[in-house]
Structure 1
């Protein structure tokens, strides 16, 4: 099974680089979300999709290599093999590093999701206020008196 490690090592190194790129993009995404930079977020979308597709292809390649070597073609199978005695040390290190990157990306993605939800809630509240104002209809009733309601909700920018 030593031959599995040779080809898999190169593939894992590529997968590690792709995961690092994804992590960098998630950090940029977080900065854009905090700054409410919609244009910046839009620029990241295509790049993120490309990296995700690349990572998916590399993962499939890894699973095929494992299956061909008679190792369970799953993440637990890879983990067991990489941390066993048959795997070269560099493959073990790269695999464990890849798992750490994946955990960091998962956490960044969770936080980014929370930031997105906050933006969406704020936008929905603003739309609700505008919609309620628009539902008021005429500003003057049939008697010529103002029908505009005083009070209501205030919007805070930022």
Structure 2
């Protein structure tokens, strides 16, 4: 790879993080609207983007390592100081800012999911019959569950 490789990867990372932000915003709208079908369609897209972003980050780290810099985010800062233009620095800051925004949106979406789950569980609990306390003794002398049977009346 050549000296400009980290910035080339970074441009693709920005494109993907922007797409991820769009999906996270759609996910949030779908959560608020309880649109399960839309959520089901967005989940694989989100997973694919996250996987591709992780691979690109690995490529950028490898390019930094090959160029003699730390193969991690701190190495990007050092690389930018040595080889980057002001536009490259702005691009890096934009990637960092959009990554923070995506993490926050994902956190909020997780909270919405938990709230919806709690609401659903509460609704299911309300549909369950109340717990029966005490049972009926069976022929063995042990308590058996109190069940309502529909017998017939002889009369």
1:62 paired residue number = 60
User: Structure 1: which 4+ aligned runs deviate by more than 3 Å?
Assistant: 134-142
Q: Does 1:116 align with 2:113?
A: yes
Q: Does 1:92 align with 2:75?
A: no
> Number of residues paired by the alignment?
138
Q: Which one of 65, 74, 77 corresponds to residue 75 of structure 2?
A: 77
1:101 paired residue number = 98
Higher RCO, 1 vs 2 (CA within 8 Å, ≥6 residues apart): 1
**Unaligned stretches of 5+ in structure 1?**
143-158
Alignment of 1:9-158 (within 5 A): 9-82=7-80, 84-131=81-128, 133=129, 135=131
Report the aligned-residue RMSD.
Answer: 2.3
CA distance in 2, matches of 1:47, 1:109: 14
> In 2 relative to 1, CA 67–138 (structure 1 residues): closer, same or farther, beyond 3 Å?
same
CA distance in 2, matches of 1:65, 1:33: 39
- Partners of 1:23 and 1:105 within 8 A in 2: yes
CA distance in 1, matches of 2:41, 2:130: 34
SS at match of 1:70: coil
- Partners of 1:8 and 1:91 within 8 A in 2: no
CA distance in 1, matches of 2:86, 2:63: 18
